[in-house]
Every structure is written in C-alpha cells, then in structure tokens.
Amino acid sequence: MSFLGSAECSTAGNPLSQFTKHVQDDKSLQHDRLVGRGPNGSLGSFRSQTRGTPQDEMMNGFLHQSPGLPEMPLEQQAGPMGNLHIDPNHAVHLRAKSASPPQWAGDFQSTQMAMESAFNAPPGTQFSPDEFAKFQQMGAPGASVSRSSPMPGAAAAGMMGGGMMGMGGMNSSMGGMSYGMMQRPMYQPMTSMYGQQAHMQPPQQQQEPEGKGKGKVVELDDTKWEEQFAQMELHDQDAKPDEALAMEPELNAMDEQLHSETGHGDFESIWRGLQAEREAMADLDVEEDFSKFDSSNFGGDNLNEWGLTNGRIGADPIIQEYLFEEENMFQAANSPFQEGVRIMTEGGNLSLAALAFEAAVQKNPDHLDAWVYLGSAQAQNEKEEAAIRALEHALKIDPNNLASLMGLAVSYTNEGYDSTAYRTLERWLSVRYPQVIAPENLSSAADLGFTDRAQLHDRVTTLFLNAARLAPDGDHMDPDVQVGLGVLFYGAEDYDKAVDCFQAALHSSELGTSNQREQVHLLWNRLGATLANSGRSEEAIAAYEKALAIHPNFVRARYNLGVSCINIGCHAEAAGHLLAALDMHKSVEKSGREKARELLGGDGDATDSHIEAMMTQNRSTTLYDTLRRVFTQMGRRDLAEKVVVGVDPDIFRGEFDF
Amino acid sequence: MPTIVVLGAGVSGLTCALQLAKRKEHAVTVVAKHMPGDYDIEYTSPWAGANVLPMALEETSRWERRSWPELRRLAIEVPESGIHLQKARVLRRIKDEEAAFKGSLSDGLFVVDPWYKTMMDDFRELDTSELPAGIRSGCEFGSVCINTAVYLPWLVGQCAARGVVFKRAALKHVSEAAALSHTGRRADVVVNASGLQACRLGGVMDATVQPARGQTVLVRNEASPHMMVLSGCDDGDDEMAYTMARGVGGGTILGGTYQKGNWDPNPDPSIAVRIMKRAVDLHPALTGGRGIEALDIIRHGVGLRPLRAAGVRLESERIDGTCVVHNYGHAGWGYQGSYGCAEGVLELIDEELAKPKSKL
C-alpha cells in the first residue's frame, strides 16, 4: 500500500503526520480525565502517574471492542465513572486547539521520544510506521464511544473546578521555558452549569495564535532543559532545509532567551510573568464570576412580570410587591375590610371585593386577614399574579398562615412552579400537623436538582398520606389534607387520584364547619380543573356549573368553563363565557355601582368613568389571551385583532350572549 | 409566558432556540451535554462540512426549501456568521448511470433535472467540454458553504442576545428537561434535538437511529472556485468524493464516507489517504499538480451523521406529562434543513401552546 511507502520520517511528505493527535492522545488524555486533573492532558507532569491503574484494564478492554456495537442506553449507565469508556475524541478537539504540530513535527518525533522518556510518557504515543502496522492489526480500535456520563449538577462543576485549581499548584515544578513553548492551559469546564460560550471563547482564541509554531508540547525539566534543548537543536539541523527555514525565526527567538547571559534570570521572570497570568485566569473561573456570564442577566425583553429566578434549577420565583389600583373608592370608607368580607360572603363582584381589601391593607399594612382575603379574592378573580403577591405578603407577616400557604401551593401549581408548590405544601403540613413533620425538618431550596424534584414530590405526598391516616374518614376527615393531596396528585398528573381527593374534600366540607362550607365552590372548581386536565370535559363542565351556581361571580370557574368548551369544540359558547368573565372585571355591576355611590355618599365624584378607571392594575392577561385564541380558532381574525388587554367586552355584545 | 427548553445544542437545537427566542414572549433555555467549541464524537454538528447540496426528493423538500433563503441571506448580509457563497458542481459519473445516479448520501442530489434547479442560484447543466473524464453529465449552481466552527458559536451569540439561557447537563431521560428551565417553571414544551443520542435517550430510545460515519480531512490548500461532489466513487459504496472551502479562513474540507452503523471515532488512515487522493484527482489545482504529499493538513475528522431510517422525526408527543416536540434524524442535511425544521417545530409548539390550561 502506498501509505507505507510514504510514511517515512520526512514530515512534509507524511500526510498522516496529524494522525499522532488522534492515536496517541487516546489513552493519555483519558487517564488524565479519570484522575480528575482537568481537560488539558498535555502537561507532562500528569502523564507520569498513568501506568498500572485499575482503570487501565477497563480501557484496554474497550480499546478492543469491535466497532458497530450500538451504544448503551444512557439510563442504564451506572452513573459517573461507573462504566468507564474511552473518549478519544476529546483528544481531537484539544489537540486541534493546541497548536497543531507543524510540519517539522516528524523531526521532533525522535527528539520527543528521548525527552518523553524522561516524563514517563505512555508508549505508543508516537506515530510511526510500526505503530500504523499495529493499528492495522488491531482492526479499528477504540471504537466504543459510549462515555461515562459526567456527574450531573454541581458536582461536576466542582470536579472540574478542582481540576483547574489543582493545575496551578502542580505547575510550579515545571520550567518556565516549557511554559513559553506551551499554550496556556485550557479552562474549559466540560460540564459547568454555567457553561457560557461567551465566557469561554476569549481564552480559547488567545491560545490559538500563541500556540502555533511553539505548541509542540515539550516538557523541560528544570535542570536538564539546556541539555535537552541542545538535543533538539541537533535534530533540528537534520531537518530538510525548507522546514528548518520555516521554524528558524521561532527557534532563534527561543535561542536568545535560553542562551542569553542572564539566561536563567530571564527564564525566572518569564516564569513569574506566566504564573501571574495563570493566576489571573484561574481567578476568572471562580464560580461567582460565572454569574456575570449567565445569560439570564441579558435580554431585558425576556423578563416577565415575575422577575427571574437566580437561574438555579428548582429555585423559587422572585415575587414582586403588590400593585395597588390608583383610584380606589374604598379608601374613603370607614371599614373597608368589613365591606370586602360582606361582598365576598354575599357572592358579589370579586374585583370590588379586591378593591375593598386593597384599601384595608393600605390603611393598615399589617392587617394579616386583609392580605389573605385579598389573595383569595384575586385568585378567584383569575388574577393569579396579584394573588401570589398578596399571599406572599401575608406570609411575611405570618410565615405560618395556613390559608396563605394552601392558596400559594395552588397558585404555584397553576403557574408551573412545581418545586415551590411542593415545598409550600410541606410547610403547610408542618404547621397544621407538626406530629407528621416537624418544622425543623423541612426541605430546603438550596439543594435541588432535577431528579430531586421527583423525590421532593414523593416525600411530601407520603407525609400528606400519613396526615390523612390520622383521620381516615367520617366526621374528622380534614378536607384541607385532601386538598393538599389532590394538588400533589394533580401536579404529578395522577388525575384519577386527584379526583378522588377533591371529591373526598367536597364531601367532608359540605358537612363540615361553616368556614369549610364557604370553600365548597372552590372545591367544585378544583375538581372541575382536575377532570378537565384528564380529558373528562363534560364532567368538568358539570363541576364548574355547580361552582357557579353557588357563586355566579366566580370568575375563575367561568374562565375554566370557557376552556372546557374550547376543548369540546364549542367555540362560540366558550367566547361567551370568557366575555362574561371579562365583563365582571371591566365593569362594576349595577349593584356594584350603586354600592360605590352609596359609599361615596352620593356626591358627584362617582361618575361611571371614574369607577371604570378604578380597575386598571392587575389585568388578567389569561382571559384576554384565551379569548383571542378562541376568535382565531373560529376563523375570526377580525375579532381576534380587537382583543387587546383592557378592551371593553361590550364591543362584542352584538355577536355573543353574555 | 411560554416556557420552552431545547435539548441539544447542535445546529438543529440552536436554530430552533434562535427562532423561538425571536418571539419576545418565549422564555427559552438550551440544555445540552455538548456546546459549540467542543469536539466530541457524540456531538455531530462541528464535524460537518457544511454546505447546501439539496438531498431530498421533491415530495419531502419542504425543510430544505424553507432553509435555503435564510442561509443565502446570511451568506450575503451577515459575514460574521461564517457562511459564504460558493458555486457547487454536482457530477454524475457514467458508472452510476445504471443506478439512476442514486448516491449513498442522498436520494435527490444527483437526479437529472432536479427540483432544486429553480431554487438555487444560476442553475445550469454543464457543457460537455466542462466535464472531466468518466462523467456523463453534471450541473452547477450557486450555493453556500458554512464554516461550522464559526457558525455554531455565532448561533449561540444570536441566541444569547435574545435572552436565551444555556445550561450544560447530561440527561438520562427526555422528561428531565422539563424541570430545567432557567425560569424555575416547568417547561410548557421540550424540543428534543438530541441527534444521534436519540437512540439512547430515555423516553425516546429510537432504535431506528444509527450513525452514518463521515470521515474528512481539513487542509489549508485551496480548491476554489467550486465545491464538487461526485455521484459515486470506485473505492466503495460507502465512500464518497466531495470538497468544499469553508469561509473566513476555515480551510478546505475533503470528504468522505457514508458508513452506516459505524461508530468508530478514530480516523482511519487508509480511508484518509483515499479521500485525499480522490480530492486531488477531482481538483488538481489543490496541490498544483503534485500528489497528496503536498496537502497541508490541519486535522482529520470523524462525524457521525444522525441517520434515521424513516427520515427526520418532526412531531410532538406527550412523554411523562411533558409535551415533547421531536426534531432529530437529519442525517447529512442538518444545516441545509435547519431553518425549515425550526419553522416546523414552531408550528407544533404554537399548536400546543394554543391549548388553554384549566386553573385549580
């Protein structure tokens, strides 16, 4: 084969001179990785400790696997380092970035062998015709590419960070000259949680140009470097003239440094300079700085009203302060809280009730019950965000307020903040049933990864089941425990079980205390939503109608009714329900207007527009968005375009009944 | 606010993330084991040429059709993307005429009078005088070549500028991605752009996905002005002859192979030599008439194209309570189908998001 003929030491003529990168680095880099040193395997000091480890046998085994074996499913891998696999192609990348050995590499092959023997380089790292013959005999070795999955989460970042930090210390024994010839270590955390490309790019780009031409990894022992360099020089002279010319300027530069009068002195200062640079780069990798490059800090446009979490998985949402309506007639009232309670119990307009409670807390920011009622009213009014802000504020006053905790768990579940919801339920339980879980034993937000979310869910569910067992049935069943369980099963999409729980809660509430009876419409709605999400739309509709029969002003139930109508294809009816819900927001009802006038003592101020202007904050985008979608699905783009946040539902009254 | 997690940072995943992020209301997180800048056998995209040589038959041409205008625009208007215009020559060998020029890489590339003649710039059949020996016919058209080493990081930058958050993670099951949104909320949709790994990813485990191994040689020599591809070659059914010049100093790619079911990450020296010889035969100007010894090699490469038996999988599926939109199995046309497939993904996501949620 012609290949063998051309694979002589003449490097320019050896088209496979670059193969050394691939074949030789397989093991050495893998060794380095396994020993946890970090990605840069080209530092000689690492290689010395590679022989004879138990990992070798495993790797040799993999080296001889035949190609074409399908990869092991990721799920079956034993976990980090559980199944050790070769990753030879790490090598390709790293070597490619490190200056590719230039054409004179061939000359240095023999040189390198001499030098590397001083560093205990693994045999077989030099490409030569003999090696190739062996390569051919092995078939295509190293075929298995399944790799150990790196440790998930922060552990991996820690390992890599450790590797990188370690390099600083380990390098101190190396000659500065070698540093001059090597490129700088590559700070590339492979599995960093904050792997920002923007951050990583600059260091890489710096390294490439410097490395070129100097990048031959030549490890020079402190004392013997002069001798070794002299050897290199000798071989250099044997090189073909054109190649020698190519590298001449570089070598001359190196010459000067090495052979200057104060050779050793220069060398020291070079070394110190490099060390300083290295430390500066190492500082960059300290984790706090990663947050600078976390792109969640970019892009103001993508920030929602909630604000962003700190970017950690399972972290809680950042809740902002409650937004009050500017115009609020209840501010003039004597006892807005009482007014609000009366509106709620009479089943009046929820927006009006919310206004009353807003006035109450503006009068007295520490009025716990007012905050709780405000949150509850807004949730029923299909204004989830406002509800969450109000309930969180209540928790600031009293972290153990049961109604707030349960309400928040429901709201967080609706918004998809699953982990937060589960932790809130856990807290509720620790307050209500400390014998089941003591407050000291609560889960912390700090150590949550994606697998932990499932564990958290299971843990809290078990706790709730324990609580339920305390009063299995009959008069003493706690409907709230059933609600908690229902929310947990709902979050896990275990809808059948959730339905059972809400039904049990309904049953005991209907027969329970007056306070519990007041919650029945909420339970009908929760049951309905669970049925709806499990595809039982007709039953869901029946449940919502039960809720609305008790409280016709229950906006959320009306919205849900609209959603279920969409799901069974009754778009026009759905639009009707959604418009009705919006109407409750938009206009204060007749009785509401009367009430407003009453409150303001019939003085001129309470004009209709005045009252209209009172409901501008906390608009429910859900209602508007869903209405717009219904119109689009009906093929009525003209109507869809009219649906902007704040539009008066009256303009659609001609087409829809509500 | 729709919360979307994209699993995979290859050309498919990144393009989807970018198109999603162009809608300001979307909160997009890209979760991947490998990111641009990495070179790993599990991560196909960096190893690609890449260029636009339409491969589909007309009936499945949507993805390539919808990608071409954007790639062309980037070549002309956005030089920093690493894409540049280059003329392509597709040569049909006499030896392949009996098989109707159906190459191993593609169904539709070598077809005579192809559907893409109206799509590509300045399409023309070559004059007999322009045909090298052994070639029955060929065509030439204006296309683009993509320097993948520049384009992939450019995509990351474009995403970052629009608020996309990137997270490194190696998942065992696709549903784990739903919990990884940077917002802390459960994802409404997960885009599965896991490429070759779709055969091992829990919840997907697509046994019809296998690698189509492509070996290349990247050299400093220039082979302008055309990128060339032959309908077949004498060295075997699973070997190919093609070249392309990457823009912005990316070097010239010499290819290649199309070895189904071969997972070998190491470049095979004998194949490399054959690739180089074929390239020099195709383009004597590469080495100025000298042999392969005059090739100035930057590196050898191996990429595993994610080949799916029934073609790309672009559909949504509910897995463990999460809506997953699959976008994998692009074989050798990932780049030239990237924007078209992203558009398809967005349609599926819109459908899913249009379903309103009931509230507890």
Tens of pLDDT, residues A544-587: 999 999 999 999 999 999 999 999 999 999 999 999 998 888 76
Three-state DSSP class for B306? strand
Q: Cα separations (Å) of B78 from A608, B45, B71, B81?
A: 56, 20, 10, 6
Alpha carbon of A72: minimum distance to chain B alpha carbons (Å): 7
Is B168 among the annotated ligand-binding positions?
Answer: no
* B221 has a pLDDT exceeding 50: yes
Among residues B137, B138, B155, the alpha carbon closest in space to that of B146 is found at B155
Taking an 8 Å cut-off on Cβ atoms, the answer to whether B166 and A18 are in contact is no
Least confident range from A94-108, A520-534, A586-600, B87-101: namely: A94-108
A-chain residue closest to B354, CA distance:
A629
CATH of B85-144+210-308, one of 1.25.40.10, 3.30.9.10, 3.90.1150.10, 1.10.3720.10: 3.30.9.10
C-alpha A18/C-alpha B298 separation (Å) is 7
> Domain B3-46+150-209+310-353 carries which CATH code?
3.40.50.720
Mutate to test the interface with B, among A1, A74, A200, A499 (most CBs of B within 10 A): A74
Least confident range from A189-203, B13-27, B56-70: namely: A189-203
Least confident range from A172-176, A400-404, B161-165, B250-254: namely: A172-176
Instruction: Read off the pTM.
Output: 0.67
Q: What is the mean pLDDT of residues B237-257?
A: 94
Three-state DSSP class for B239? strand
Position B305 scores a pLDDT of: 97
C-alpha B242/C-alpha B254 separation (Å) is 6
Instruction: Check CB contact of A145 with chain B, cutoff 8 Å.
Output: yes
Choice between B249 and A518, residue whose per-residue pLDDT is larger? B249
Interaxial angle between packed helices A571-586 and A350-363, expressed in degrees from 0 to 180 and rounded to the nearest 10 = 30
User: Tens digits of per-residue pLDDT, A238-253?
Assistant: 444 454 455 555 555 5
What are the residue boundaries of the structural domains of chain B, listed by start?
3-46+150-209+310-353, 85-144+210-308
Residues 58-117 on B with a CB inside 8 Å of A are: none
Mutate to test the interface with A, among B30, B217, B266 (most CBs of A within 10 A): B266
- Quickly count helices (H) and strands (E) in chain A: 32, 0
Residues 181-200 on B with a CB inside 8 Å of A are: 182-186, 188, 197, 199-200
Question: Residue A601: how many CA atoms within 13 Å on its side-chain side?
Answer: 4
Least confident range from A133-137, A339-343, B174-178: namely: A133-137
Residues 49-108 on A with a CB inside 8 Å of B are: 67-75, 77, 87-90, 92-96, 100, 103
- The full 3-state SS of A453-486, as one line of letters, equals HHHHHHHHHHHHHHHHHHCCCHHHCCHHHHHHHH
Same fold, B3-46+150-209+310-353 and B85-144+210-308: no
Question: Which tokens is A265 given?
Answer: 């002195």
Which residues in chain B are contacts of A93 at CB distance < 8 A? 38-40
* A123 has a pLDDT exceeding 50: no
Amino acid at A483: V
**Going by C-beta distance under 8 Å and a sequence separation of 6 or more, which residues neighbour residue A654?**
none
Position B356 scores a pLDDT of: 85
What is the rounded average pLDDT for all residues in chain B?
A: 94
Mutate to test the interface with B, among A135, A138, A295 (most CBs of B within 10 A): A295
* A258 has a pLDDT exceeding 50: no
CB distance B45 to B299 below 8 Å: no
Instruction: Check CB contact of B343 with chain A, cutoff 8 Å.
Output: no
Least confident range from A159-168, A224-233, B303-312, B336-345: namely: A159-168
Among residues A304, A301, A332, the alpha carbon closest in space to that of A319 is found at A304
Choice between A310 and B82, residue whose per-residue pLDDT is larger? B82
Going by the DSSP 8-state scheme, the letter that residue B38 receives in this structure is B
